A and B are shown apart, each in its own frame.
Chain A
Amino acid sequence: NAGVMQNPRHLVRRRGQEARLRCSPMKGHSHVYWYRQLPEEGLKFMVYLQKENIIDESGMPKERFSAEFPKEGPSILRIQQVVRGDSAAYFCASSSRTGLYTGNTIYFGEGSWLTVV
C-alpha cells in the first residue's frame, strides 16, 4: 500500500494521558499536513511540516499539542494531558510539493480516531 499510512486507527485514552499519532506519507512525499475533525464538524488545519521543519503551525492549540517530522521515520502528532474535547478524528495528509504548484494536491490517510474517556 503506497498510500498515506496512519496508526493507530483507533486510540482510547483516559483524561490526563498522552496520545501519540503517527503518519507515514506517501512514497516520495516530503510535505505532511495534520487536520482535526471534531464530530459533526469540518476539517480544521493544524500544522504543516516538511522533513525536520515545521512550516506552519498556525492551527495548533498553544498548549499540549506538538508535531514533528524527523529525518527518519514517521511524522508524530503528540497530545499531552488529553481532555474530553480532544476526542476527534485526526487526519494526516501528504503531498509531493507545496500547494503553490498548480494542480498539486494532498492525499489523506484513513485517520486516527481518538476517544478520551
Chain B
Amino acid sequence: RKEVEQDPGPFNVPEGATVAFNCTYSNSASQSFFWYRQDCRKEPKLLMSVYSSGNEDGRFTAQLNRASQYISLLIRDSKLSDSATYLCVVIPNTGNQFYFGTGTSLTVIP
C-alpha cells in the first residue's frame, strides 16, 4: 500500500468555483502534513502546512482528519493562476522522509 494516495484528477473547474482535494495516508503515526504546488516542469513549492485544528490562508483552507487518516485542501473563488498540480506531503514519525502523493491536477477554465 502506498504511503500517500491522491486522486490524480484532472479537475477542470470554472473561474470562481470552489474545489476540494483529499489525500489519504497509511501510517497512523504520521507526524506532519503539507500541501505543495507544482507547475508544469517546475519544482514543487510549499503552499501551506496542515495543522491539526485546520488552517486557512486567504482562499486556501487545509484540514487534517487523523481518525480517518486524510488531509484536504479547499480552494475558494478559483483563479486561472491556481491551475497546477497539488501535492500532499506526509512525514512519518521517523522524520526521515517526506512522502509525496502523485498529485492532483487542477485546471481553472475562464
Contact = CB atoms under 8 A, between A and B. Distances in A.
Given A35-B100, A42-B101, A43-B100, A100 B95 contact: yes
Contact of B87 (A42, A48, A100): A42
B98 A33 contact: yes
Contacts of A56: 96-97
Given A104-B32, A111-B43, A45 B98 contact: yes
Pick from B92, B94, B97 the residue with the most CB of A within 10 Å: B97
Pick from A43, A48, A58 the residue with the most CB of B within 10 Å: A43
Interface string A74-117: 00000000000000010101000011111111111111010000
B105 to A, nearest CB: 10
Interface of B: 31-32, 34, 41-46, 49, 87, 89, 91-103
A35 B100 CA distance: 10
Contacts of B97: 33, 45, 48, 56, 58-59, 99
A55 interface: yes
Contact of A48 (B44, B96, B102): B96
Nearest to A91: B43
Interface string A32-59: 0101000001111100100000011011
B32 A99 contact: yes
Contacts of A42: 87, 100-103
Given A42-B103, A110-B43, 12 more contacts: A33-B97, A42-B87, A45-B97, A48-B97, A58-B97, A89-B41, A91-B43, A100-B31, A105-B89, A105-B98, A108-B45, A109-B43
A99 B102 contact: no
B43 A99 contact: no
